[in-house]
Amino acid sequence: MRRRDFVKGIAGSAAVWPLAARAQQAGTVPIIGYLSQGTPERGTAFVAAVRDGLAAMGLIEQRDYTGEFRWARNDVDHLPGLVSELVQRRVAIIVCLDTAPVARAAKTATTEIPIVFALGNDPVKSGLVDSINHPGGNITGVSTMNTDIGAKLVGLLHELLPTAKRLSLLVNIESADSARSLITGVQEGALALGLQTELVFASKVNEIDPALTGLAARSQALIVHADALFRQATDKVTTVAMREKLPTLSSLPNFTNAGGLMGYGSDFIEAHRQVGLYVGRILKGEKAGDLPVQLGVKFTFAINLKTARAIGVDIPPTLLARADAVIE
């Protein structure tokens, strides 16, 4: 074999080495770059779930990888700059913790670094992947599809309040993809039941209180968009809704634990554990674009009876019987 061909073969084989092996060959461990639209305080549980998934793959932090974190703190305009920092840091993989804008910023920034996302809406409709089974490119992940259950949420509220005629939907309009999907589902579900809907908007935490104040005078119930903004401000949303004595329902993680009346959605913590499993597989040599997007299939229904008593709502026995968790 000619020396030129041998060198070319060695260079080509390096491209298919597992990322972890290449990093160790260079005397380092691979860096996982974490990118989030939210804050460290609210993202801790998601990061822990990713680590659990990595541990299940036999990969331990500090020994087999390290983490580099970037938090947009609820300002999507910061995402391009933050992901650029991760690219310059030469991370081995970018983990997008929570929303479609995070994944989109990462995809725009690099076509080479593998990207693994966790989000609530349809990644095909969002333009992130070519298809669920064959994502293509350098990106894959997990979708809970929580934003495509608007009609189901309306149905639960109708069962709770069968005489109600009007309900509201609190959305962050800046999260266009997931907001549009949820709005469509809620409006179609409400129309089928003869209900009127009102859209209420907040794109910053300080807009939540004004948006919900006085809402109970014209609406009998509220659905809360499972958006990163309201995930960071769940306590704020539920506190104001409680003050207004407004029954609430959301797919936000831990919504009922924070005082929301009802919660229905897939397990977002488990979704991030699945992300960790995918990150481990990629570090061990698989290509992101060859791994099908995992879809959330386990949905849980929770009711907070303490909140129900506080706002004067009686929970029908049929709903209580179907609840996976009841907070007394």
pLDDT score, position 54? 98
Are 98 and 219 found together in one domain?
A: no
Asked whether residue 280 falls in the same domain as residue 250, the answer is no
Say yes or no: 139 and 199 in one domain: no
pLDDT at residue 23, rounded to an integer: 53
The secondary structure of 280-326 as a DSSP string is HHHHTT--GGGSPPEE---EEEEEEHHHHHHHT-PPPHHHHHH-SEE
Three-class secondary structure of residue 260 per DSSP: coil
How high is the pLDDT of residue 1? 45
Which residue type sits at 130? D
> What is the C-alpha to C-alpha distance for residues 24 and 312, in angstroms, rounded to an integer?
61
> In angstroms, how far is CA 219 from the centroid of its own chain?
28
> Looking at residue 296, what is its pLDDT?
72
Tell me the three-class secondary structure of 206-220, residue by residue.
HHHHHHHCCHHHCCC
Domain range enclosing 45: 3-144+268-297
pLDDT for position 6 = 39
Distance of CA 98 to the CA centre of its chain: 4
Based on the fold, state whether residues 110 and 154 are members of the same structural domain: no
Q: Give yes or no: residues 74 and 41 share one domain.
A: yes
127, 255 Cβ separation under 8 angstroms: no
Which residue ranges of the chain lie beneath pLDDT 50?
A: 1-17
Tokens of 50: 């990713």
The reply to whether 190 and 214 lie within a common domain is yes
Kindly state whether residues 159 and 186 are assigned to the same domain. Answer: yes
pLDDT at 3: 44
Q: Based on the domain organization, do 87 and 189 belong to the same domain?
A: no
Do 15 and 114 fall within a single domain? Answer: yes
What is the pTM assigned to this prediction? 0.79
Instruction: Give the strands of the sheet with 248-250, arranged side by side.
Output: 196-201, 166-171, 222-224, 248-250, 262-266, 299-304, 325-327
Domain count, the chain: 2
Residues 310, 273 share a domain: no
pLDDT for the residue numbered 179: 83
Indicate which CATH number applies to the domain containing 285. Answer: 3.40.50.2300
Are residue 113 and residue 59 in the same domain, yes or no?
yes
Q: Do 193 and 127 share a structural domain?
A: no
